[in-house]
Structure 1
Amino acid sequence: MIPDAPWLLDRERRCRRDGSGLTTADLLGCWRLERIWNKGSRQPASAAAALLRGLAARLRLSADGTGPEGGDLRLANSVRIGALELRFEGAGRLEGRRPLLVFSFERLLLLLGERVLIERALPQPDPLRRPFFALIAAERPLWLAARGRGGGLALWLLEETEGENEARVNEN
């Protein structure tokens, strides 16, 4: 079952009080953006979500070498039109009881297939202004919900787990 806004808002209220219980291991994989809600809205932003789905918006979360129990993550946030991909890559970690996934993007890439057309380092944000996702809930292997720093609510569907991606890479 993919949750609707009222269910997510109720879950978010409980999460603020009790925490979500989500761990780094719950987040690993490639997540496809499915729905978004603007700040304060109970209605999905259907046009914006359709555009982002059309652009194949993805959030890939992987363990940062220390393993899932280490807590550090690598993030890649991307959109794609055909073989042309715009990708932001960086690092993140879980903080607090809720928890927050606090992150910053370190570089921007424009790729055509596997070929890097443009690669730029990004400046580090002020530590007090770093972006984050306030994690609300996840039901593996289906979905993940979080609220961003700007107040919007997002729902992603799991496309592949980290282990599936590694197996696919090793096959080639």
Structure 2
Amino acid sequence: MNIPTADFATILDRAADSTDRPSADVLKAALQAAELAARKDKLAIPFGSLRGEWRLCFATGASKDQQRGGIKLGRGYYLPKFTPASITFTQQADSIEGTVTNRLLVGSIQIQFSGPCRYPGKKNLLAFDFTEIQFKILGVKVYQGKIRSGKRGQRNFAKLSVASLPFFAFFWASEQGIAARGRGGGLALWVRD
């Protein structure tokens, strides 16, 4: 399905509106059109456009396509509002460094991952590493601890290359939403609530 370049922003904005969302296939095509336009126009998205809390609205998985030697996108799906997943980006005063926090609420249980992030601006790549985990039940913290390399990893984070870290390659940002391709090849759309 081909989406004209002028129409992808309208479709992405519509997806943020829970009353009149486009089908998963239409949204997936719009995300791909936005990514292609961003690459063609060499779109530069400032770190400030990503700051704040965003609810995951839509995601696709991806798998390797053996026949074509590339990535094959999964169908894609909208995440229900009753199991919200969100991501928050903060920036250290006019720096390329900040923090990322990823939260998932399932019933009364909240799982939160957090750690450092870096947004050098090249190709709109935001590299990150989750170094802490926290669990809450009914809003009460029941566990918080380091994961993987913890404190040591945060100190070494600045020295690691983007190629060795998880990352998002952002290709669309507006007041209503942001969209990116993950390191694994899947696409995601986050929206402001």
Aligned length: 151
Kindly report structure 1 stretches of 4+ aligned residues shifted beyond 4 Å: none
SS of the residue 1:136 aligns to? strand
Contiguous gaps of at least 5 residues in structure 2: 1-9, 13-26, 63-71
Alignment partner, residue 158 of structure 1 = 192
CA contact (8 A) 1:19 1:97 kept: no
CA contact (8 A) 1:59 1:77 kept: yes
Distance 1:151 1:55 in 2: 23
SS of the residue 2:31 aligns to? helix
**Structure 1 residues 92-135: Cα deviation after superposition (integer angstroms, max 9, x where no partner):** 11134321010011101111244321112122479443110001
Alignment partner, residue 164 of structure 2 = 129
Equivalent position amino acid for 1:152 in 2? G
- Within-5 A mapping of 1:128-147: 128-140=163-175, 142-147=176-181
Alignment partner, residue 169 of structure 1 = none
Question: Which structure carries more strand by proportion?
Answer: 1
Between structure 1 and structure 2, the one with the greater Rg is 2
User: Are residue 36 (structure 1) and residue 59 (structure 2) matched?
Assistant: yes
Equivalent position amino acid for 1:144 in 2? I
- TM-score normalised over the length of structure 2: 0.69
Contiguous gaps of at least 5 residues in structure 1: 160-172
- CA positional deviation for 1:147: 0.5
- Within-5 A mapping of 1:1-172: 1-3=10-12, 4-39=27-62, 40-41=72-73, 43=75, 45-46=76-77, 49-50=78-79, 53-64=81-92, 66=93, 69-124=94-149, 127=160, 128-140=163-175, 142-159=176-193
- CA positional deviation for 1:2: 4.1
Distance 1:96 1:24 in 2: 8
Distance 2:177 2:121 in 1: 22
CA contact (8 A) 1:79 1:85 kept: yes
SS of the residue 2:123 aligns to? coil
Equivalent position amino acid for 2:83 in 1? L
Equivalent position amino acid for 1:147 in 2? R
Alignment partner, residue 7 of structure 2 = none
Equivalent position amino acid for 1:154 in 2? A
CA contact (8 A) 2:104 2:112 kept: yes
Distance 2:40 2:129 in 1: 26
CA contact (8 A) 2:89 2:98 kept: yes
Across the aligned residues of Structure 1 and Structure 2, the Cα RMSD in angstroms comes to 2.2
* Fraction of identical pairs, as percent: 25
